[in-house]
Amino acid sequence: MSRWRTRAWQLGAVALLLPAGYLTLHRDDGAVTAQRLGLPFPAVMAHRGASYLAPEETAWSYRVAKLVGADYLEADIQRSKDGVLIALHDDTLLRTTNVATVFPDRAQQPVSEFTWEELSRLDAGSWFNAKFPDRARPEFASARILRLDQLIDIALASDKPSGLYLETKAPERFPGIEAELIRQLERRGYLSPSLHGKLVFQSFSAASLLLFKQLAPTIPRVYLLDEEMVRRDGFATLVGQARELAQGIGPVGYYAYPWHTRRAHAAGLVVHPYTLNQGWQLRLGRWFGADGAFTDRCELALTVYGRRSPVDVAALWREAAASSLGQ
């Protein structure tokens, strides 16, 4: 082989090995921070519960997430008109309930315009059966919107409490929601040392995170970042803000490349990207340095992370039906 061809091969090998070495050397930089905070590593956040298998943010999705062993039950917390804290993602009830049938004149109203009694009448599961017929189950038709206290019942059921990873959704619309959330969680033991690492607050709102920092400084907080925030403020600026407000960032997956995770880890922050639902995304996320993931498929993430054997879905449903978790 000529000297030039040998040199070309050597350069090619270096070009391939350098990035691989870079990724390998830095992929677990967040483990130390996670350990300091008492957070599982890599952490599996059941995004809206096991929401691939059951209607999101209902008792079914959280019971299944708990049964498969997700580290955290993730929920978006809002408040009813009469002050009841509930788990619901959207501003309105249109996508995930039959509000258009039960309250046809009010279907466009935000959830905050409905009392708990009104919310409790809605079917929060049939939409799932219609949208995902291959995963439909008759029992979902009786699924209801979940109150925070019911979510806590599920999390605390059994001798192994689940973690709670709670987001204040549009907190500017719910003044005082942070204090109320903390009060309820404190009453149920989630602020006590025995549940250290089992509670994380998350928000896209810096103001909400600041309130959590003031009211419950020992509970870890994660600053959620979406594409618009990164475009507007820049990733480095947001990491700087996160350092003041939180112990971690929750970036949309597009902002969890190695250079993002490295920057966040260098600032002493853990990185929990959302929402990684494919095996390759979960694998790549870890390779790029993420310290876990929000995922609709907690059962898949636990397998990808080597923490459990693949789930037999039929057996899982038999177990869920037989279990009394949080009922």
Is 260 labeled as catalytic in the residue annotation?
Answer: no
Query: Least separation, in Å, of the C-beta of 78 and ligand G3P?
Result: 11
Rule CB under 5 A: which residues touch Ca ion?
A: 76, 167
Quote the tokens at residue 28: 């677990």
- Which residue type does 132 have? F
Query: Least separation, in Å, of the C-beta of 47 and Ca ion?
Result: 7
Residue nearest to ligand G3P (CB): 274
Specify whether the CB–CB gap between 43 and 72 falls below 8 A. yes
Which listed residue (80, 202, 208, 277) binds ligand G3P by CB under 6 A?
202
Say whether 115 sits in a helix, a strand or coil: coil
Query: Least separation, in Å, of the C-beta of 138 and ligand G3P?
Result: 27
Is 272 labeled as catalytic in the residue annotation?
Answer: no
Q: Assess 44 for contact with ligand G3P (CB under 6 A).
A: no
Closer residue to Ca ion, CB minimum distance, 118 or 209: 209
Specify whether the CB–CB gap between 68 and 302 falls below 8 A. yes
**What is the full DSSP assignment across 120-178?**
TTS--SHHHHHH-GGG--GGGGG--PEEHHHHHHHHHSSSSPPEEEEEESSGGGSTTHH
Integer Cα distance of 212 and 56 in angstroms = 25
Integer Cα distance of 294 and 207 in angstroms = 22
Active-site hit among 26, 89, 260, 272: 89
Q: Assess 224 for contact with ligand G3P (CB under 6 A).
A: yes
Question: Which residues lie across from 249 on neighbouring strands?
Answer: 223, 271
Query: Least separation, in Å, of the C-beta of 252 and ligand G3P?
Result: 8
Q: Assess 250 for contact with ligand G3P (CB under 6 A).
A: yes
Q: Assess 52 for contact with ligand G3P (CB under 6 A).
A: no
Residue 1: how many other CB atoms lie within 10 Å: 8
| Residue 292 binds which entry of ligand G3P, Ca ion, none, CB below 5-8 Å type-dependent | none
Integer Cα distance of 45 and 108 in angstroms = 30
| Residue 277 binds which entry of Ca ion, ligand G3P, none, CB below 5-8 Å type-dependent | none
- Nearest-CA neighbor of 246 among 271, 267, 230, 222? 222
Integer Cα distance of 235 and 168 in angstroms = 22
Q: Assess 92 for contact with ligand G3P (CB under 6 A).
A: no
Query: Least separation, in Å, of the C-beta of 323 and ligand G3P?
Result: 26
Q: At what angle do helices 313-322 and 59-68 cross, to 10 degrees?
A: 110
Site map (CB under 6 A) of ligand G3P, residues 1-40, x = contact = ----------------------------------------
Residues touching ligand G3P, count (CB under 6 A): 11
Closer residue to ligand G3P, CB minimum distance, 157 or 238: 238
Active-site hit among 47, 260, 265, 272: 47
- Which residue type does 306 have? G
Restricting to residues 262-301, which ones interact with ligand G3P according to CB under 6 A? 274-275, 294
Q: Assess 76 for contact with ligand G3P (CB under 6 A).
A: yes
Size of the chain, expressed as the number of residues it contains: 327
**What is the full DSSP assignment across 263-290?**
HHHHTT-EE--B---SHHHHHHHHHTT-
Integer Cα distance of 135 and 183 in angstroms = 37
Closer residue to ligand G3P, CB minimum distance, 33 or 78: 78
Q: Assess 96 for contact with ligand G3P (CB under 6 A).
A: no
| Residue 118 binds which entry of ligand G3P, Ca ion, none, CB below 5-8 Å type-dependent | none
Q: Which residues bind ligand G3P (CB under 6 A)?
A: 47, 74, 76, 89, 167, 202, 224, 250, 274-275, 294
Could you give the residue numbers annotated as active site?
47, 89
